[in-house]
Structure 1
Amino acid sequence: MCLPNLTRLQTYRFAEHRPILCVEIKPKCGFIPFSSYVTHEMKHKVCRYCMHQHLKVATGKWKQISKYCPLDLYSGNKQRMHFALKSLLQEAQNNLKIFKNGELIYGCGDARSPVADWRELAHHLKPFFFPSNGLASGPHCTRAVIRELVHVITRVLLSSSDKGRVGALRPGLRGPRVCEASPFSRSLQRQGKNTPERSGLPKGCLLYKILQVQMLDLLDIEGLYPLYNRIERYLEEFPEQRKMLQIDGPYDEAFYQKLLDLSTEDDGTVAFALTKVQQYRVAMTAKDCSIMIALSPSLQDTSSDQRPVIPSSRSRLAFSVSVLDLDLKPYESIPHQYKLDSKIVNYYSKTVHAKDDAVVPTRLKESEDCTLVLHKV
């Protein structure tokens, strides 16, 4: 299949002669599991992404742990979103890439220092955000350009769009709004401040829609895996039913309608198991999708343009937003996800959390009440 070049503005071909900046973000899963099937208490406190970071560094996948936490990006709180985006810029890993006129200029760098990378990135971005004000080079320039980039991306992510059908899929946001492992939250705790939980995502924005689809993972992999085994036993006895169950497609209107059943009461049937498994596959797809934000200078004399425009402090940028990596996650990957989940949680609990617990006795736990008892003397 021939895919469009999503590093370009998709809707406005007449603007192709203008420079194009494209930011690709993999936001990952934006909520903490709320399922009663979760057996590891840590999963109710720390998000999957933050736990997985420690395992990836331990196995040599990455050199250092990212400060990015998806719950900060999905919070809708601009302070938390800015911190999340800056963290992605500091440690992009596979979760952020920046293209200029279709060519990769930033992302996946693990060898160079973020300071050197940011200086080079600011050089590329300066014409987009400070086109004619003569902003000098140096650390101040770099910080100013990066700040503009972060603010513009935040505004685009919070902008509303009426496209899509996700409105019918509303599991409702449950569970903690703050990840205990988020460096942003920990920093505020050290200062004796509470983390601003969330300002709420506008219901029309892309992050809100992605989050709603992610939350079709109603049972967590711990509750889902036994249902997968139920289907497997059924298929062993009736292999000819695989096509009728639509495990391999087609992913049509009938498939979509089954996703609307948000019940979690297990009636013991294959039909219930199948619905939850298909919802999980869709949710996992949303958890691993990429957002492509294309930006291009909007000329002052183009008042007749119908393009959405985001203003920055010194410029106006037309933008388009696309989502990719939407191939449905394979049914056969569920056993792997179950094993990986256990591996991630066990490693985090035995290493990171164990170290935290060893430090806590030296001071009063914040969650515990302290009662002062006075005795007569």
Structure 2
Amino acid sequence: MELDKMDENDWKYHGEGNKSLVVSHVQHARVLRLLKYSTEDAENSHKTTEQAFRHIQNIVDYSQNVMKPLLGEKFIHNGEAVKLPLDFVRQLSLKVQQERPESRCDKVMDTLSGCALCLPNLTQLSSCCCCSREHRPPLCIEIKPKCGFLPASRHITKDIKRKVCRFCMHQHFKLANGKWKRLSHYCPLDLFSGNKQRMSLAIKHLIEEPQNNFNIFKGGECIYTCNDDADVLQDLDELAQHLRPYFLPSGSLLSRQQSSKVVLNELIQVIVSALLSTWDCPRSGQLRKTHLSEGRVTCEASLLHRDLLRNGNHCLPKDCVLDKILSTQMLDNLDIEGLSPLFKRVEQHLQMFPKERCRLQMDGPYNASFLEKVQNCPAEDDGSIEYAVGKVHQYRVAMTAKDCSIMVAIATCGEDDGLDQSLEIQPTKPRFTCSVSILDLDPKPYESISHQSRLDYKIVNHYLRRTQPNNQELDNLEELANQSLFLGRDRDGEDCTLVFHPV
């Protein structure tokens, strides 16, 4: 990428989150991620070029030196901090403004520093991957899985936190505050269970109510995302028509409604296979399992039948993408309630010795020394500031893993494409080549911990007020589990072949 020859017409709006906006190149598989600021204080709060570049370089260093060793090198793509021509950035901001969702326009793109993060476009497979001669554009499914376990910390004061997961409780809080108009029935514990039937239903619920947790791209273009005012069944039917060429033969005689059920079920099975696959143990029948020994592995708010929750397997193949993410999330073994006193210990220490902030790496640098503080924190509290800082850093890393996204990119393979049999999962048709990546791995600010403590209190108490003295609402929701455009059932055999390639 020649920075001195940047043309805003070569880039298009790709999406945005709370703190950054992403544009993608129209020809090359690259994206630029640019910082955003609130419109209310954009003039006063913008960073200097040096500050903005350091902020983005911190993201790169954190991904490279902290998250990659924890999550696995094969899943992580660090990116590169770049300085762009200011005129290009200003013109780009004007170009993409009309494409931005209204709900995101409370913040403006940083046009003053010219700094950005350059990354591979993970919605597309690399050119080295084999693709069908039919030249169908690759599909990419983006999932933000959220926290996949229930806390078991002795510091928890409300027992409901040991029974209902944070995501399910947070849904009620967001609904009451107008964040969403409909309740999502997705439960992260079902996705992280390793049980194919539970995982299938979790993905089904993500598709039915995507919110900010699920997107589908086709050829790099987003074809399915959150639309809070849309007719859900109509949206699902349109999605199914996009997917039909990938999962149904062209001469299929199925009706439109029947084909919609089939292709959406096929999509779910491909996603489940990708999330459970591991490069270390390619044979599906020989996978090592990671059992969730700490705490409960089921959420009382899940819509799954209670017998399935009691009797299903609760384990993940070791080193699959979900296993890596869950293991990192579980660095938070005290819960925010157990961490709060340690956070106060650190706060008091920094007030007395402000120069210690650098030595304790509260703002980085995110290097091998920071990772050592995370990995070698003592198991028991010895009253030291080092223990408190280690647990705070562990919590910040766990929060990153709880807020990351998984990108599953797939493309069809032709019958003549040579595939390594050791990488196949059930050698039946249709056949896909696949790449799995993790992104959104920014460091969580040290100062955000106090906000998390207040938010946790609000979410839990709102849920208790809403669901007690009885849980009749959960019983009513359970009846909705079977009302869907497509089935979420598991099958003994996978009707797909996945072949995995690094990006």
Is 1:45 paired with 2:163?
A: yes
Q: How many angstroms apart in 1 are the aligned matches of 2:319 and 2:470?
A: 42
Q: 1:282·1:328 contact (CA, 8 Å) conserved in 2?
A: yes
Q: 1:38·1:223 contact (CA, 8 Å) conserved in 2?
A: yes
Residue pairs, 1:182-197, within 5 angstroms: 182-184=302-304, 188-189=305-306, 195-197=310-312
Is 1:204 paired with 2:204?
A: no
Further displaced range: 303-312 or 127-136 = 303-312
Aligned to 1:234: 349
Q: 1:37 to 1:143 in 2, by over 3 A?
A: same
Q: 1:210 to 1:358 in 2, by over 3 A?
A: closer
Aligned to 2:301: 181
User: 5+ unaligned residues in a row in structure 2: which ranges?
Assistant: 1-116, 282-289, 476-503
Residue pairs, 1:130-279, within 5 angstroms: 130-162=248-280, 173-184=293-304, 188-189=305-306, 195-261=310-376, 263-279=378-394
Q: How many angstroms apart in 2 are the aligned matches of 1:34 and 1:97?
A: 32
Q: 1:193 to 1:219 in 2, by over 3 A?
A: closer
Aligned to 2:224: 106
Deviation, 1:74, is 0.5
Equivalent residue letter for 2:122: L
User: 5+ unaligned residues in a row in structure 1: which ranges?
Assistant: 164-169, 361-377
Aligned to 1:342: 457
Q: How many angstroms apart in 2 are the aligned matches of 1:3 and 1:40?
A: 42
Q: 1:57 to 1:307 in 2, by over 3 A?
A: farther
Aligned to 1:89: 207
Q: 1:293 to 1:282 in 2, by over 3 A?
A: same
Is 1:33 paired with 2:148?
A: no
Aligned to 1:373: none
**Deviation string for 1:107-135 (max 9, x for gaps)?**
11211222111110011011111243425
Q: How many angstroms apart in 2 are the aligned matches of 1:66 and 1:359?
A: 13
Aligned to 1:364: none
Aligned to 2:124: 8
Bigger relative contact order (CA 8 A; separation at least 6): 1
Deviation, 1:304, is 5.7
Deviation, 1:199, is 3.9
Deviation, 1:305, is 6.8
Q: 1:235 to 1:79 in 2, by over 3 A?
A: same
Q: 1:311·1:317 contact (CA, 8 Å) conserved in 2?
A: no
Further displaced range: 64-73 or 301-310 = 301-310
Further displaced range: 116-125 or 348-357 = 348-357
Q: 1:292 to 1:194 in 2, by over 3 A?
A: closer
Deviation, 1:38, is 0.7
Q: 1:235 to 1:15 in 2, by over 3 A?
A: same
Deviation, 1:102, is 0.6
Task: Using structure 1 for the length normalisation, give the TM-score.
Answer: 0.86
Give the 3-state SS of the residue equivalent to 1:122 in structure 2: helix
Is 1:128 paired with 2:246?
A: yes
Further displaced range: 351-360 or 85-94 = 351-360
Q: How many angstroms apart in 2 are the aligned matches of 1:9 and 1:307?
A: 20
Using the aligned pairs only, state the percent identity: 51
Deviation, 1:14, is 6.9
**Deviation string for 1:288-334 (max 9, x for gaps)?**
00000000011221216799566696410100011000011111110
Residue pairs, 1:278-293, within 5 angstroms: 278-293=393-408
More strand by share: 2
Q: 1:298 to 1:44 in 2, by over 3 A?
A: same
Aligned to 2:141: 23
Equivalent residue letter for 2:298: V
Q: 1:100 to 1:274 in 2, by over 3 A?
A: same
Aligned to 2:174: 56
Aligned to 1:78: 196
Q: 1:29·1:70 contact (CA, 8 Å) conserved in 2?
A: yes
Task: Using structure 2 for the length normalisation, give the TM-score.
Answer: 0.65
**Deviation string for 1:135-155 (max 9, x for gaps)?**
534111000000000111000
Q: How many angstroms apart in 2 are the aligned matches of 1:193 and 1:319?
A: 30
